[in-house]
Structure 1
Amino acid sequence: MVKQWWPILFIIYNVQGINITSIVIDQQVASYTEAVTYEINATYQVVLFYPTIETPNPFRVKAWSPDAQANLPVLVVVQQESSVTSWQVPLMVETSRRDYVLKFSNTSKTMCHDQMDSIVNPDFSTGDLTVAQRFIVGLSTSSPHTVSISIEMEEEKDFYVELDKSYSVSVSPSEPRYVFYKFLEDAPDIVIVDVDSEDDICLVVSVQDSRCPVFDTNKDIKYEGVYQTINLKGALTITRKDFDPGFFLIFVAKPDNADCTEGSSYLPRLETNFHLSTQNITTSITFKIRPTVTRREYIIATIGTLVTLGAIGIILTILSLVLNRFGTISKSDKDEPPVYDCFEPLSEFAIQDLLKKDILTVNYLARQPRRIRKRSYNYLSHILSIAVFYSIPVVQLGVTYQRIINASGNEDMCYFNFLCAHPGLGFSDFNHIFSNIGYVIFGILFNFVVIDRYTIIKIRKTKGIPVHYGLYHAMGVALIIEGLLSACYHICPSQSNYQFDTSFMYIMAVLCMVKLYQNRHPDINASAYSTFTIVGVAIFLAMLGILNGGLAIWVVFAVSYTALCIVLSFKIYFLNYVVNGVKELHREIKTRGYSTDVFLPIRRGRFIFLLITNAVNLGLLIAGLCVYPQNLTDFGTFLLGLLMANAVLHAIFYTSMKLIHGERICFEAVCYGLLSIAAWAAASVFFLDPATLWTVTPAESRQWNQNCILLGFYDKHDVWHLLSAPGLYFTFMYLMCLDDDIVDKDQCEIPVF
């Protein structure tokens, strides 16, 4: 037996310049039931022979030394029948800082079973097989001074874990642990590994196939299988087809928390909690392997969702058809004379007269109905072009992310809710992708309703609000594309592709505001070119804010946005004739001086609304600048909230002004308005209780993970998808029906506000 060690010892001590003929190798038979301590040095080594033992459980070798030095460590070499494992005591573990290494005097390693091929055989069930094992442990050092080394061989009695049973293990950077789970014939094909830790020590949890060796050190754990970092909570979804017939579940503690805190974040942070530990890093972990949804439950959830949404869609379609034919607009006058545009430009005198009117009616700003119709369809053509060219790279990138996850096993790439992530069709988190189907269904439904409405109300010249069906179609297409892009985002939700999920939300918010303004200002409304240019700039700023969300970006945005609000306020107040309005004000000042009457607004309602709107926007900007240093929001979410708040504010103002001017809210608008409020209220409850948080690190995000709440398949964010889709549909329907009460009213009697 000494001959087996001779080549190794010769290499070691020849390098050190020690005469190997002076080395004494003490060979002893050791016991599995007791720990032994030896005093060794450069000339006295120990070889321990552990006799053959029959047990299916692997053994764990513990080695510790109170006085071994890092520069002259004790080498522990464990020989099995077909493998050799070695490490040193003390174990030096590299931290995230190159100039800082932690020393651990207590070490231990589980010896991967030589007979794992027999154990994972389909005929084996836990505890029914015994196999022979024997070990040879060599202890050596180059230290000229005597050092003590203790060795203990411990049987891992809870190595084979079972379904639906909780287990606890203790790990440290120098003492990793792993267990084995076997897929039995009657076991589910997909299981979830729930992991909980008592403290916030950073861990790496890995699932590897049933072959030896097991990669269980900080350096190599990421080379095999799937893995994720956790500190307090984690979960991995494992499928039989990927790890048949079973898998190793490995736990390794990190020497510092850099991989679990802002130190590893791709986002710029104003402050971090990064620290290095100089204490013994040991944490207790509780884990449980539990079944996920069965194939039958999977089918019920997906097919049930399609059937439910389809049934709701059919009911709403029938309701829309009935209301179009028997509701408010069914009583409209179908006879309308031929429509012609008035292309005669307004003279300077006419513009001055227009600006001096304190009460305006729609006929002044609806002189070109055919041009208005064409401009509204420009929105549709623009959004279709944007959707095609924007969606193609998004789909490509989303699929590429999924392939990288499958190839690398790195589950830190994506911010899934791992406690409710059901794989399917090659995707890691199919339920969050599939729950976006509601946006597509309701977007198609809305476009169908718009087409049907066009058969009832044609383009008009003198009555009602000028129709803008192209803009309505653009809103419906935006809803469809939002569903597709949100699905692509949820293939791998992360910091780098969050804008995929929000870009068309920006567009829908802006389209709602444009639609409301266009109702009473059709001739002077923003064109599709200028609208989408502004949206493009907003998306660009959102990208900069996500990639480098420093305070400078927020300040630049705040200044730019304030300037935009001022310019738009002038354009709205002066009916797009800003130069003429300023000239008229200058003329009044020269004629009448700086009197109070000169500066009193002619259209006070419009002026008060602009003051309120600007005050709200200024307040939101200040709030964003205040909460950002506390890492309570990110730039993309803040911008989305800003646009949504403005859309809601415009809707409230428009509805209020209708009532103030004696117009009524028709039955259809009341119904759709109440339905939208109910849908948004319910959806907001689930949106405000997130299961992930991509503004922090993956490990920190997992602390927010939650179990499924609907059909055992959908979590709260899925429910947000399923409720916000009809919420958007009802909102669009409310905007479309809002002016049905004045469909036959002469435009010269419809006020502008």
Structure 2
Amino acid sequence: MEKSNNSKTGGTMIDLGYNEEESLLDNASSSSSSTTVLNVQELLSQSETRRQLKTQPVYLKYFWKILLIVSAFYSLPSIQFVVFQITDPEIKCYYNYKCLRPFLGIPSFNNVLSNLFYLIAGTSFILITHFTSHQEDGIHGLHTDLSLYYSLGLTIILEGIFSALYHVCPSRLNFQFDTTYMLIGSGLLFFALHQKRHATLTAGAFKAYGFFSLFIFFNFLSLTNINIYAFWVMFVIVFGYVSIIGSSYLLAHKRMDLNPSIGFLWRTLKKLIRPSTIDDKPRFFALLIANILSWAIVIAFAVYGMMGSISKNFSNLILGVMVLDFLIYLFYYIAMKIKYGEKVYLFVWVLFAIMFLSWGFGLYYFEISVTNKFYTFDESLLLNRPCIIFNYWDTHDLWHFLSAIGLFSIMAIVYFVDWDLRTVPRSLIHVF
């Protein structure tokens, strides 16, 4: 009986013990669930905070990294090609023989050395952006990711390096070395200005460099013996496609897609036919002016190219259109800042003055040709001129110096133009 009672009691105790343990487990489980919920909410809150504090989408950080990788692989065959050129007696280098200053086995060392100004300008810009950047708090000012600004500084440095390579033995064969990074830098200027207020809409690095490579490819084609008419037909088709797609997405404030839907293009076309339905009229008129001027230049160059040689000024065409479109966008940007009562500091206007003066005088000296790689060698010799600075540098060296200042000043304008917004709450900053 006792055994039975003990057993029963023991059973009861076990039951009670089990129930008590289950109750404790339930409480622990409930507490654990509550804690888990709190932890999840806390993690979500932290994740949201981190997301808000991120200054730029991650893909912007690839701009300067990809630029360095591409340049490393681009430089090796370029150096090899130039060494081959200078050591082959059958290849004629288009030097300014009236101002030829050889050194270290390089016949025109003075023309190579003057590219040092690009390296100084690019390095200075990178250092200035690095040491003047402020801590991002996610609440005040615009996004402060410096990736595109570092890329801009790198393009000036790389322009100096590859221009120096070109001037080791300047000719039509390696002329593209002298223009590649001018094209990339001009395009990156637009991206850098656009991402200030449209950080999530700016195209990624792969699309951007793919876009640049397309025009660099056409620049290469212009130096070949391709049929003139075929070349210009292809270019006008591609340029028209880029103009329509780019303008449509900029007007719609959407991220660029190289393969848009027919519906999207049709809706954009209907808006263009009826401008009164467009909400962002200032941007529409800026795009309209840019397209009219760009197409006028392209058509003029196409007609000139078909009548003469497509290779003479094609790189100037691409650079001219890209710089023109950027300047229109920059002036639109400044006008909208003024419209919304934002300040443009005095030193930014000083940079504008420096930019116009340096580019004005720079283009003046650029047009004073001392060689012409598209002429015959004997015709180019007739253009040779004596040195004009310290009996060492010619007018083209002056172009290097002044254009380096011009590039630095225009990039500094893009960087400093919104310096007044550093302490302004982000929610109060207008998007345009």
TM-score range, shorter chain: 0.7 to 0.9
1:77-127 deviations in Å (ceiling 9; x for gaps): xxxxxxxxxxxxxxxxxxxxxxxxxxxxxxxxxxxxxxxxxxxxxxxxxxx
Q: What residue in structure 1 maps to residue 78 of structure 2? A: 394
Aligned mate of 1:707, from 377, 386, 390: 386
Quote the Cα distance in structure 2 between the aligned partners of 1:467 and 1:581: 36
Q: TM-score, normalised by structure 1?
A: 0.48
Aligned mate of 2:223, from 534, 546, 568: 546
Q: What residue in structure 2 maps to residue 556 of structure 1? A: 234
Correspondence 1:399-548 to 2 at 5 A: 399-404=83-88, 408=89, 410=90, 413-454=92-133, 457-548=134-225
1:455-490 deviations in Å (ceiling 9; x for gaps): xx1224232221130111111111111101000000
Query: Counterpart of 1:374 in structure 2: which amino acid?
Result: V
- Decide whether the 8 Å contact of 1:340 with 1:369 is kept in 2: no
Q: What residue in structure 1 maps to residue 399 of structure 2? A: 720
Query: Counterpart of 1:560 in structure 2: which amino acid?
Result: V
Quote the Cα distance in structure 2 between the aligned partners of 1:585 and 1:487: 48
Q: What residue in structure 1 maps to residue 365 of structure 2? A: 686
1:740 aligns with 2:419: yes
User: Structure 1 or 2: larger helix share?
Assistant: 2
- Decide whether the 8 Å contact of 2:116 with 2:160 is kept in 1: yes
Deviation at 1:637, TM superposition (A): 2.7
Quote the Cα distance in structure 2 between the aligned partners of 1:414 and 1:584: 49
Quote the Cα distance in structure 2 between the aligned partners of 1:542 and 1:341: 46
DSSP-derived class of the 2:102 partner: coil
Q: What residue in structure 1 maps to residue 16 of structure 2? A: none
1:396-441 deviations in Å (ceiling 9; x for gaps): 211221122xxx2x5x611111111111110111110011011111
1:580-616 deviations in Å (ceiling 9; x for gaps): 99569869x9xxxx9x979621111111111111111
Quote the Cα distance in structure 1 between the aligned partners of 2:282 and 2:101: 53
1:612 aligns with 2:289: yes
Q: TM-score, normalised by structure 2?
A: 0.82
- Decide whether the 8 Å contact of 1:546 with 1:634 is kept in 2: no
Distance 1:746 1:542, change over 3 A: same
Quote the Cα distance in structure 2 between the aligned partners of 1:601 and 1:750: 22
1:298-356 deviations in Å (ceiling 9; x for gaps): xxxxxxxxxxxxxxxxxxxxxxxxxxxxxxxxxxxxxxxx996589xxxxxxxxxxxxx
- Decide whether the 8 Å contact of 2:248 with 2:265 is kept in 1: no
Q: What residue in structure 2 maps to residue 272 of structure 1? A: none
Distance 1:562 1:369, change over 3 A: farther
DSSP-derived class of the 1:490 partner: helix
1:636 aligns with 2:315: yes
Quote the Cα distance in structure 1 between the aligned partners of 2:346 and 2:202: 28
Query: Counterpart of 2:245 in structure 1: which amino acid?
Result: V
Q: Return the index of the structure with the highest Cα Rg.
A: 1
Quote the Cα distance in structure 2 between the aligned partners of 1:510 and 1:597: 30
- Decide whether the 8 Å contact of 2:57 with 2:199 is kept in 1: no
Quote the Cα distance in structure 2 between the aligned partners of 1:689 and 1:717: 8
Q: Which moved more, 1:742-751 or 1:681-690?
A: 742-751
- Decide whether the 8 Å contact of 2:118 with 2:157 is kept in 1: yes
Q: What residue in structure 1 maps to residue 27 of structure 2? A: none
DSSP-derived class of the 2:341 partner: coil
* Relative contact order, higher structure (CA 8 A, sep 6+): 2
Q: What residue in structure 2 maps to residue 568 of structure 1? A: 246
Query: Counterpart of 2:159 in structure 1: which amino acid?
Result: E
DSSP-derived class of the 1:520 partner: coil
Quote the Cα distance in structure 2 between the aligned partners of 1:583 and 1:648: 28
Quote the Cα distance in structure 2 between the aligned partners of 1:341 and 1:645: 40
Correspondence 1:310-325 to 2 at 5 A: none
Quote the Cα distance in structure 2 between the aligned partners of 1:599 and 1:585: 16
DSSP-derived class of the 1:547 partner: coil
How many correspondences in the alignment?
A: 380
DSSP-derived class of the 1:484 partner: helix
Structure 1 unaligned residues grouped into runs of 5+: 1-337, 344-366
Structure 2 unaligned residues grouped into runs of 5+: 1-44
Deviation at 1:384, TM superposition (A): 0.7
Cα RMSD between the aligned structures?
2.7
Quote the Cα distance in structure 1 between the aligned partners of 2:217 and 2:402: 29
1:5-33 deviations in Å (ceiling 9; x for gaps): xxxxxxxxxxxxxxxxxxxxxxxxxxxxx
Deviation at 1:564, TM superposition (A): 0.6
Distance 1:417 1:551, change over 3 A: farther
Query: Counterpart of 2:200 in structure 1: which amino acid?
Result: D
Correspondence 1:651-690 to 2 at 5 A: 651-690=330-369
Quote the Cα distance in structure 2 between the aligned partners of 1:503 and 1:584: 31
1:11-59 deviations in Å (ceiling 9; x for gaps): xxxxxxxxxxxxxxxxxxxxxxxxxxxxxxxxxxxxxxxxxxxxxxxxx
Query: Counterpart of 1:563 in structure 2: which amino acid?
Result: Y
Deviation at 1:551, TM superposition (A): 2.6
Deviation at 1:380, TM superposition (A): 1.0
1:165-192 deviations in Å (ceiling 9; x for gaps): xxxxxxxxxxxxxxxxxxxxxxxxxxxx
- Decide whether the 8 Å contact of 1:634 with 1:695 is kept in 2: no
Query: Counterpart of 2:173 in structure 1: which amino acid?
Result: S
1:624 aligns with 2:301: yes
Distance 1:613 1:369, change over 3 A: farther
Quote the Cα distance in structure 1 between the aligned partners of 2:63 and 2:300: 33
Distance 1:470 1:750, change over 3 A: same
Quote the Cα distance in structure 2 between the aligned partners of 1:388 and 1:730: 27
Quote the Cα distance in structure 1 between the aligned partners of 2:266 and 2:166: 51
